[in-house]
């Protein structure tokens, strides 16, 4: 039977809240044995809920800590530090997201530990990195969204800054850290390095995540323009429109063939004979005028009806729907996207890793650990 890719890899997880635990969550889903080292109060995310019944195992915590073990250590005591070092010595990977220098002051920093245990892949996750003028500055997701420029990419010119409605930077930072860790493990396995120190910064990760606008700006010096729901192409046929019955649809027609099909579906083919809309440059220059014609046509029918028409002719389009509607889509039933795990109040359904292997793919059958539940037990 094919085992998961990281079976046999041991991870000491000193991280908390989102970015670090999400990184180790992906390692656990790929077979690693992850042990959370927590203070007596536990990871703060355990209590990220307004429901008293969920305290200690808040959904936000349970969803990204499934399959891990948990031990409680007081790193301010000599005994706690000695136990922590024993865990580190027996691990392949250490992940921590304290402020830079905290682990070193405890005598458990990367330099000291890797000198003793050079096989370690050590990943430190922080807001601004382990070096640099901002290294000691406190950070969280929305702070990095603000500082990185991310909040001035959505909306239209002149609109107030807009935060993305979930911890996007934390999420991408965790994924980037997991990728870096697995890369370092492969490097070690191939004999290219004995171990590794990885420095992952949320600000760096945010800018990499925005590479579709950052790279062009680096090359041309031109700042990105906020285009609202209209795509980067600025094509009036690539936008979100109101439809009948209070519904909305997003269309992604950019290529000339898709534009012609879109206008045909809407009964607007004659617009292509208008010099204002005859080619891509003209349509971009007169985008609002063309968008008004499209909006009028779309208002006649509900979004689901239009979606079927666009799909039939191969034009990218989708109705706007909520997260609940997205999760209920029959398409997802056979995608291995969800895991059902045992929970204190009945089965818990959480997301899997988001990719599939034919053999030995990601997943776990163990829920998130109770505080201090001990290491993962192998069958």
Q: What is the pLDDT of residues 323-340, one digit of tens each?
A: 999 999 999 999 999 999
pLDDT of amino acid 379: 53
Report the C-alpha gap between 30 and 4 in whole angstroms. 5
Domain co-membership, 107 together with 170: yes
Domain co-membership, 258 together with 344: no
Domain co-membership, 201 together with 71: yes
Which backbone phi and psi does 252 adopt, to 5 degrees? Answer: -125, 50
Domain co-membership, 205 together with 76: yes
Q: Helix axis angle, 19-29 relative to 168-189, nearest 10°?
A: 50
Domain co-membership, 259 together with 147: no
Report the C-alpha gap between 321 and 93 in whole angstroms. 40
Q: Are 74 and 40 in contact (CB under 8 A)?
A: yes
CA nearest 100: which of 129, 62, 133? Answer: 129
List, in order, residues 6 or more apart from 273 with CB less than 8 Å away. Answer: none
Instruction: Decide if 156 is inside a domain.
Output: yes
Task: For residue range 241-283, list pLDDT tens digits in order.
Answer: 999 999 999 999 999 999 999 999 999 999 999 999 999 999 9
Domain co-membership, 274 together with 127: no
Strand, helix or coil for residue 303:
helix
Q: Is 372 left (phi over 0), alpha (psi -120 to 50) or beta?
A: left
Report the C-alpha gap between 96 and 109 in whole angstroms. 10
Domain co-membership, 176 together with 314: no
Instruction: Decide if 373 is inside a domain.
Output: no
**CATH number of the domain within which 254 lies:** 3.30.1540.10
112: tokens are 């000291």
Domain co-membership, 126 together with 193: yes
Instruction: Decide if 28 is inside a domain.
Output: yes
Q: Where are the alpha helices (DSSP H) in 30-101?
A: 59-62, 78-89
Instruction: Decide if 291 is inside a domain.
Output: yes
Which backbone phi and psi does 57 adopt, to 5 degrees? Answer: -140, 50
Instruction: Decide if 377 is inside a domain.
Output: no
Q: Are 192 and 225 in contact (CB under 8 A)?
A: no
Domain co-membership, 340 together with 314: no
pLDDT of amino acid 345: 79
181: tokens are 């860790």
**CATH number of the domain within which 42 lies:** 3.40.50.10540
CB atoms within 10 A of CB 172: 19
Instruction: Decide if 141 is inside a domain.
Output: yes
Q: Give the total number of structural domains in the chain.
A: 2
Domain co-membership, 73 together with 170: yes
Instruction: Decide if 342 is inside a domain.
Output: yes
Instruction: Decide if 200 is inside a domain.
Output: yes
In terms of residue numbers, what domain contains 292?
Answer: 238-242+248-319
Report the C-alpha gap between 370 and 364 in whole angstroms. 16
Report the C-alpha gap between 162 and 320 in whole angstroms. 19
What is the mean pLDDT of each successive set of 10 residues along the chain, which is 379 residues long?
90 98 98 98 96 95 97 98 98 97 97 97 98 95 97 96 97 98 98 96 98 96 93 92 98 96 98 96 95 98 98 97 96 95 89 95 96 85
Q: Secondary structure of 169-213 in the HEC alphabet? A: HHHHHHHHHHHHHHHHHHHHHCCCCCCEEEEEEHHHHHHHHCHHH
Domain co-membership, 57 together with 197: yes
| From 13, 92, 170, 204, active-site residue | 170
> For this structure, is 274 an active site residue?
no
Q: Are 24 and 13 in contact (CB under 8 A)?
A: yes
Domain co-membership, 275 together with 141: no
């Amino acid at each position: 039977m094919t085992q998961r890719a990281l079976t046999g890899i041991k991870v000491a997880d000193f991280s908390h809240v989102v970015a670090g635990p999400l990184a180790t969550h992906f390692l656990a889903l790929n077979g690693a044995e992850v042990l959370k080292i927590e203070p007596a109060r536990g990871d703060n995310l355990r209590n990220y809920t307004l429901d008293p019944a969920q305290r200690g195992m808040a959904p936000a915590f349970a969803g990204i800590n499934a399959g891990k073990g948990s031990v409680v250590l007081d790193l301010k005591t000599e005994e706690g530090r000695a136990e922590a070092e024993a865990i580190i010595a027996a691990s392949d990977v250490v992940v921590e997201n304290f402020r830079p220098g905290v682990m070193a002051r405890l005598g458990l920093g990367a330099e000291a530990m890797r000198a003793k245990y050079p096989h370690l892949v050590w990943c430190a996750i922080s807001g601004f990195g382990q070096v640099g003028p901002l290294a000691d500055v406190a950070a969280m997701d929305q702070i990095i969204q603000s500082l990185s420029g991310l909040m001035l990419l959505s909306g239209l010119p002149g609109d107030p800054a807009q935060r993305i409605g979930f911890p996007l930077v934390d999420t991408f930072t965790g994924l980037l850290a997991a990728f870096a860790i697995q890369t370092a493990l492969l490097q070690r396995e191939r004999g290219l390095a004995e171990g590794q120190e990885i420095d992952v910064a949320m600000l760096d990760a945010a800018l990499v995540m925005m590479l579709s606008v950052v790279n062009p700006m680096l090359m041309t010096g031109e700042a990105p323009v906020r285009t609202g729901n209209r795509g980067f192409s600025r094509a009036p046929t690539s936008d979100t429109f109101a439809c009948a019955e209070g519904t909305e649809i997003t269309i992604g027609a950019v290529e000339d063939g898709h534009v012609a099909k879109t206008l045909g579906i809407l009964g607007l083919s004659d617009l292509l004979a208008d010099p204002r809309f005859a080619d891509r440059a003209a349509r971009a220059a007169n985008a609002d005028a063309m968008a008004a014609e499209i909006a009028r046509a779309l208002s006649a029918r509900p979004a689901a009806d239009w979606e079927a028409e666009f799909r039939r002719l191969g034009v990218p389009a989708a109705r706007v729907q909520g997260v609940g509607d997205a999760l209920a889509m029959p398409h997802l039933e056979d995608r291995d996207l969800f895991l059902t795990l045992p929970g204190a109040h009945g089965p818990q359904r959480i997301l899997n890793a988001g990719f599939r292997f034919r053999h030995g793919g990601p997943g776990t059958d163990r829920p998130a650990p109770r505080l201090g539940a001990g290491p993962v037990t192998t069958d």
